[in-house]
Structure 1
């Protein structure tokens, strides 16, 4: 285990007080100011850190750092911000929390993920309220929750991807001990907890780091958010440590079972080892229980997913956008944007059988090659889904898939991805057919709010369906409270038939597919049976796991199968439209 009581970044509790530290290489003078007014000068070290031991300071102390010009700023490694990002930081002694668990973790083969946003998962939008829904998830068959970022962000609500204080759970969700209580409650039910973290940029409001530590960013690399985080330039070691220690901190201090790293294709690092490599190696070498590290990677780089035996060398799995895209196009026939590249049946087969649909070929939408060979990777190196926060929320109105396709189509898609040997992931409310949208929302102010509102409208202006100004004006205002509230799940409107369907599918996965996963060492083989219709076979030792799926409106012939364990639709003889069959054969 790493020692969270003495981190290089953030307050360290020692006998009789707290040692405060701040990396501020651009400053000549820094002091730590406690809320009651006591000010303590900090000693500057050669590495750009300032340090001071404050006798008598204890758990719950509120403090800020005073810069050379008199400006007061929060600790960039703050453990909690009770008054949002502009307020004082609260010192948290994590060793004081009375953990009551002896959790050993769960195998990745067991994983059925459930992505949720704390603020909209329940009416209350808190860690404690979310814990009250864990029985529902465990009964459904979920074995791991994946929580959208909770790192402190500016304002009262947001998706979490514009956090500025990556060590502090946002106060709108509750206190750090509430998050720990949620984790304990999940573990008591056999449910692992993973957290989304953002290491590719810092948010635009409340980020003071560049003021006193300009080397946090570099203009040598650019990202969609501007200058990149400095992982490879001069004075980058403290920057790398800030984020690597953050990964260790969440897993260690909160007993988390893993992390999902957001959009790593936008992380720029020309050094060796790459920050992704160093982070994974540090976490895996210092945490003894099973830890699952996931990626979102638009470049589809298979080298991050390689195995040593059955164990991942670096990352456990990657969100498989390609699988989502081929299934979405099959269901909706949408061809706008990147969907135009995903309508071919052979790509549907490849995404199901091998993970990546594009393995080095040029995508017309990107106008450059994408991906690499992935057939040698085991299927559960990929996370499959038909919805997630991005694919729903990046739509103009945040519509869920059930607003775009009829129920029989949704259940056919679910019959495919929930039982496939790729790791299945549900988006909150999907299991009961929730009708609430998940639009983009945030709570910025002033010119930044105006720019976001304008940018959201302009983002969709080139789509034909928004050529009509009246139609474009209907796009939800991302800054409005009503937009945030519209995303909250309505637990009083559960479609029980839909919920029972999902429970049955996950039960079949647990009974028939899970036992085969240790023996499925590489991708399967897909054979096209017709347009959007195919057979996929995975070898699992002496057995074969077989998917027969007709994801079209036509009738299609398929080979016979002995004793299927899952049927949906008309699978007697020639398959009817939107029909799926799973079987295991010797």
Structure 2
């Protein structure tokens, strides 16, 4: 890796910093700055010095032009926070098991978690101790919200400033590697959220010595846009591409979820996303390594049904969540606006087509600039969720569906995320039906804290009522109490409701593993059918090569409906929710009920 501190095999450490705007750079060694070493500059703005006596554990930072003291932007560890010295890490010291090759995309069942809120301790080590119960349930992959170091003690992680250094409140680099190793020993993959569209505002020193990191022509919703296509952009591109390679190679991460790729502006060819994919594919060797994008503009051209340089395995499908949420709650405010007039129809189409609004930009108020029905997609590439950090945490009071709809409806939402050919994602706690809120929290200080507080008040001035219909004061996003309220109560897992949910989710994942996963490669594209039945009913038929059909008969509404017979032959019932009568030919569908069954359409080939 060309950035940061690199221990030499024979002893000593090479220190490198790209600081093209600096006139002088000195390496300050020691936690208290005991030694000062002048660095040499090359023609491209790289500063370098070698220190024979330095080793893993040595503290250091850079002094810019005789004044500013800054951490290494590619620091592998910053134990005391983003405003303090960096720490040399020897990546060759950790002893990895060598038999893990990963798992294919068809087996992915994601479990998104925030390290700080997942356990009372909020550490990598505590999270590792909970992995066995997730593996036993049928989860196959945990997805960590961003762990790169950010300002303050707690936060979501999307405002990181040291993207190579694990956030010190969670533990050390070795603690994170131990978490990954433990996951692999249990057969679990580890995905990581990474943010390549902006730097956070607290602890970002790059403007002072490397302003070329930031675009002179593009804008970002979260501050200065990154420079991926302007003058001096090559080192910027390498900084983030090497970050992706770093997680794959040094931490044996199995998948990266790239945050808000629609906010990455790059007119060069190949653009950053294509080049990053190609480099990661080459580095993966024989391992299964997966790439997932979050793209609000619903662009699907980068998706491919198998690992391919330049392409991605999956994409978060907000359309599924939004149609499902509106159908269950009736809430069509904000970005739910486009789903409010016909949510049942849109949910039916999302189940067979994946995304609904293809290449349609979203205005700041939430509505799409135009509504375009997307062509059928490769469904396993769609990552479907009834809950994720965005859709829960961006609500004023962070309510999960368990707080917003009756229990059978909340259960049905989770089952619909789990039991389709799309790739499922659960938000931590969802497996037990937890109603713990997941709120926005950030440990900002001073003017930044005041700006975030006032911004939240403006954003949610229309939504001061909680799920109980009563007016409540908005939670303070910068309060430690707000952060603490999001931590899971482990007692809930052992209560009657928690045990019932665990049984339901475990049974659903067993059904998925037995009947859906083995057929993923046979799934036909563009030949699935869905349609309305009455006011709230949906019939869905997913077709496979060879003639098999995965069928879903669904009532998404609060009242039972009587439906006409489909004329189909009775198939093998796979899973039922809210249906005492498990015969797929029944003409009565109870409220919030669903029946999954396996049939045959008589076809013999794709």
| Same fold at TM > 0.5 | yes
Report the 3-state secondary structure (helix = DSSP H, G, I; strand = E; otherwise coil) of the residue aligned with 1:228.
strand
Residue of 558, 565, 570 corresponding to 2:574: 565
Q: Do the aligned residues in 2 keep the contact of 1:302 with 1:372 (CA within 8 Å)? A: no
The equivalent residue for 2:460 is 460
Within 5 Å, which residues of 2 pair with 1:287-302?
A: 287-288=284-285, 289-302=287-300
CA distance in 1, matches of 2:360, 2:98: 48
Within 5 Å, which residues of 2 pair with 1:419-438?
A: 419-438=419-438
CA distance in 2, matches of 1:292, 1:425: 15
User: Is 1:574 aligned to 2:571, yes or no?
Assistant: no
The equivalent residue for 2:143 is 146
The equivalent residue for 2:521 is 518
Q: Do the aligned residues in 2 keep the contact of 1:300 with 1:372 (CA within 8 Å)? A: no
Distance change >3 Å, CA 372–CA 342, structure 1 → 2: closer
User: Is 1:120 aligned to 2:117, yes or no?
Assistant: yes
Structure 1 stretches lacking a partner, 5+ long: 1-6
Deviations 1:507-528 (A, max 9, x none): 1111111111111142522122
The equivalent residue for 2:395 is 395
CA distance in 1, matches of 2:414, 2:208: 49
Q: Do the aligned residues in 2 keep the contact of 1:200 with 1:264 (CA within 8 Å)? A: yes
CA distance in 2, matches of 1:165, 1:274: 23
The equivalent residue for 1:9 is 3
Q: Do the aligned residues in 2 keep the contact of 1:305 with 1:313 (CA within 8 Å)? A: no
Report the 3-state secondary structure (helix = DSSP H, G, I; strand = E; otherwise coil) of the residue aligned with 1:82.
coil
CA distance in 2, matches of 1:374, 1:413: 24
CA distance in 1, matches of 2:562, 2:293: 37
Q: How many residues align?
A: 574
The equivalent residue for 1:4 is none
Structure 2 stretches lacking a partner, 5+ long: 601-606
User: Is 1:545 aligned to 2:557, yes or no?
Assistant: no
Q: Do the aligned residues in 2 keep the contact of 1:122 with 1:488 (CA within 8 Å)? A: yes
CA distance in 1, matches of 2:26, 2:574: 67
Distance change >3 Å, CA 317–CA 447, structure 1 → 2: same
Q: Do the aligned residues in 1 keep the contact of 2:13 with 2:55 (CA within 8 Å)? A: yes
Within 5 Å, which residues of 2 pair with 1:103-118?
A: 103-118=100-115
User: Is 1:69 aligned to 2:28, yes or no?
Assistant: no
User: Is 1:18 aligned to 2:13, yes or no?
Assistant: yes
Q: Do the aligned residues in 1 keep the contact of 2:356 with 2:373 (CA within 8 Å)? A: no
TM-score, normalised relative to structure 1: 0.95
Following TM superposition, by how much is the alpha carbon of 1:107 offset from its aligned partner in structure 2, in angstroms?
0.6
Deviations 1:474-529 (A, max 9, x none): 11001111000000000012211111111111111111111111111425221222
Report the 3-state secondary structure (helix = DSSP H, G, I; strand = E; otherwise coil) of the residue aligned with 2:302.
helix
Following TM superposition, by how much is the alpha carbon of 1:228 offset from its aligned partner in structure 2, in angstroms?
0.7
The equivalent residue for 2:345 is 346
Q: Do the aligned residues in 1 keep the contact of 2:360 with 2:368 (CA within 8 Å)? A: no
Distance change >3 Å, CA 235–CA 360, structure 1 → 2: closer
User: Is 1:191 aligned to 2:188, yes or no?
Assistant: yes
CA distance in 1, matches of 2:372, 2:41: 46
Residue of 201, 206, 223 corresponding to 1:204: 201
Following TM superposition, by how much is the alpha carbon of 1:556 offset from its aligned partner in structure 2, in angstroms?
3.9
Report the 3-state secondary structure (helix = DSSP H, G, I; strand = E; otherwise coil) of the residue aligned with 1:8.
coil
CA distance in 1, matches of 2:269, 2:462: 41
Deviations 1:206-262 (A, max 9, x none): 000111000111130111123210011100000000000000001110010010000
CA distance in 1, matches of 2:513, 2:234: 44
Following TM superposition, by how much is the alpha carbon of 1:363 offset from its aligned partner in structure 2, in angstroms?
7.3
The equivalent residue for 2:304 is 306
RMSD: 1.8
User: Is 1:479 aligned to 2:478, yes or no?
Assistant: yes
Report the 3-state secondary structure (helix = DSSP H, G, I; strand = E; otherwise coil) of the residue aligned with 1:222.
strand
CA distance in 1, matches of 2:499, 2:288: 35
Deviations 1:5-56 (A, max 9, x none): xx11111121221110000000111011101512111110111110111112
Q: Do the aligned residues in 1 keep the contact of 2:464 with 2:474 (CA within 8 Å)? A: no
The equivalent residue for 2:443 is 443
Following TM superposition, by how much is the alpha carbon of 1:573 offset from its aligned partner in structure 2, in angstroms?
2.9
Report the 3-state secondary structure (helix = DSSP H, G, I; strand = E; otherwise coil) of the residue aligned with 1:252.
helix
The equivalent residue for 1:412 is 412
TM-score, normalised relative to structure 2: 0.92
Q: Do the aligned residues in 2 keep the contact of 1:9 with 1:242 (CA within 8 Å)? A: yes
CA distance in 1, matches of 2:373, 2:114: 32
Within 5 Å, which residues of 2 pair with 1:226-241?
A: 226-241=223-238
CA distance in 1, matches of 2:271, 2:361: 26
